[in-house]
Amino acid sequence: MNKDEHPDAVEGLGRFLRSRRELLSPAAVGLPSTGRRRVPGLRRDEVAALAGVSASYYMRLEQGRELNPSQRVLEAVARVLKLSDEDRLRLFHMAQPTTRRMRSPLRVERVSPPLRQLIESWTRTPAFIIGHAQDILAANDLARALYSDFAQQDNVLRMLFLDPAAKAFYRNPERARHRAVADLQQTAAETPDDPRILALVGELSVRSGEFRSLWAREYSRVPPYKVKQMHHSAIGDLELHHEALTIRSAPGQQLIVLQAEPGSASADALALLGSISAPALPNQQEPRTDS
């Protein structure tokens, strides 16, 4: 996209950022007051420093010369300018016009029938498949029962940040959130214009202050899970070995397998969960007898 393709959006973004910057005093963002100032509100270099970007980069953003701001930069600027939820959505809309976002078509992710049949055949092992944005694409009965404390089993990040059940279900919810955000950042860096990731990050940024804070961080490599510690409302505490397996036939998809140590209390708890969540069998008809 060049500047002439969306002059209103480009100029509107600059005006918007300047107007919000001029509304804030240094004290409002924790900066010391240095007497009378030449301009109202914050200076550009102050916003840039607080957002963690260079002054020249932020100047280009306000002048409409930076046409590809990253998701994290926009989140950091929104945080510094203390934008409301409505203004945050306006910022993202002006900074990332629809025509530019649609360069990357929406990726349709499907689970192959053989793989779906495979995980459904595992009656003692919770297993599910996630897509590139951590959407849950398929799950077997035991996995659905394991996560039944959640209102929806649609996306790992939405469950972690938007569902109150996560605080009780994960015995270390902070670690789980850090892990999920780090994974999403890695995927976003590889596909920066992916519409699904942009939509997910935008939704979570508006609805969760904790997600906004974590998303603004730069993550180094986060160690993968070895054991997940959980608490299910019906069967109590669980410790399950966690394996995330890349599906080579479906790039971006992962098979998540959770296993209990044989003979452990967690194995007994999973067996109990499987028995209480198993669908009831239809009543068998009595054999007919000829009179």
- Residue 156: pLDDT above 80? yes
**C-beta atoms surrounding 144 within 10 Å:** 15
pLDDT digits 0-9 by tens, 190-230: 876 688 887 888 788 878 888 888 887 776 666 677 889 99
User: 253: domain range?
Assistant: 113-277
Q: Fill in the DSSP letter of residue 104.
A: S
Residues 40 and 154 in one domain: no
Residue 185 and residue 81 in one domain = no
Displacement of CA 69 from its chain's centroid (Å) = 19
Check pLDDT > 60 for residue 9: no
Q: Are the C-beta atoms of residues 215 and 72 closer than 8 Å to each other?
A: yes
* 127 beta partners: 257
Both 81 and 118 in a single domain?
Answer: no
Place of tokens 């629809």: 98
57 and 133 share a domain?
Answer: no
Give the mean pLDDT of the chain.
83
Report d(CA 91, CA 52) in Å as an integer: 18
Residue 291 lies in a domain: no
In a domain? residue 287: no
88, 186: one domain: no
Same domain assignment for residues 220 and 266:
yes
Residue that terminates a domain, selected from 68, 101, 134: 101
Place of tokens 């479906």: 250
| Amino acid 89: pLDDT | 86
Q: Is the pTM of this model over 0.85?
A: no
Residues 89 and 125 in one domain: no
DSSP letters, 224-273, are PPSEEEEEETTTEEEEEEEEEEE-TTSTT-EEEEEEPPTTSHHHHHHHHH
Q: How many domains does the chain have?
A: 2
Q: Exposure pattern of 233-247 as b/e (b: 16+ CB <10 Å)?
A: eebeebebeeeeeee
Kindly report the CATH number assigned to the domain that includes residue 227.
3.30.450.180
| 245 shares its domain with 156 | yes
Residues 6+ apart with CB under 8 A from 76: 51, 52, 53, 216
